[in-house]
Amino acid sequence: MAYDLNKFFKAISDPNRVKIMELLKDKELNVSEICQHFDMQQPSVSHHLSVLKNADIVSSAKRGKEVYYRLDSICITNCCNGFQEQFVEIEKLK
């Protein structure tokens, strides 16, 4: 089944989720580490992580008790480029 661009944009149109993505920009973090950067409770962070994961923006790996999340930057590139190409003439995209 095709990737749902709408799901991607819904996922990134929340400031807390974008902040999570920024935290994961160049390092993996587990849920507790992510929580330390927010006032939200842990289940709320887990919810945002599940939205991001469901859109393939992050992936996760369990190691011991912790679950580590990482950013999938290829997905961001593909979605942003794909969306642009839907609306902007290719030659305008330098």
Interface residue list for DNA (CB under 7 A): 10, 14, 16, 30-32, 35, 39-44, 46-51, 60, 62, 64-68
Helices marked H in 1-94:
5-12, 15-23, 31-35, 42-54, 73-87
Comparing CA positions, the residue from 3, 2, 1 lying closest to residue 56 is 3
Residue 34: count of CB within 10 angstroms of its CB: 20
Q: Which is nearer to DNA, 22 or 85 (CB)?
A: 22
At 30, the amino acid letter reads N
How near is the Cβ of 64 to a copy of itself at its closest, in Å? Answer: 28
Tokens 């999938």 label which residue? 72
Q: Which does 88 bind (CB under 5 to 8 A by kind): DNA, a copy of itself, none?
A: a copy of itself
With a CB cutoff of 8 Å and minimum separation 6, the contacts of 37 are: 19, 23
- Give the binding range for a copy of itself (CB under 8 A) out of 2-10, 35-43, 44-52, 59-67: 2-10
Q: Which residues bind a copy of itself (CB under 8 A)?
A: 6, 9-10, 12-15, 18, 21-22, 25, 71, 73, 76-77, 80-81, 83-84, 86-89, 92-93
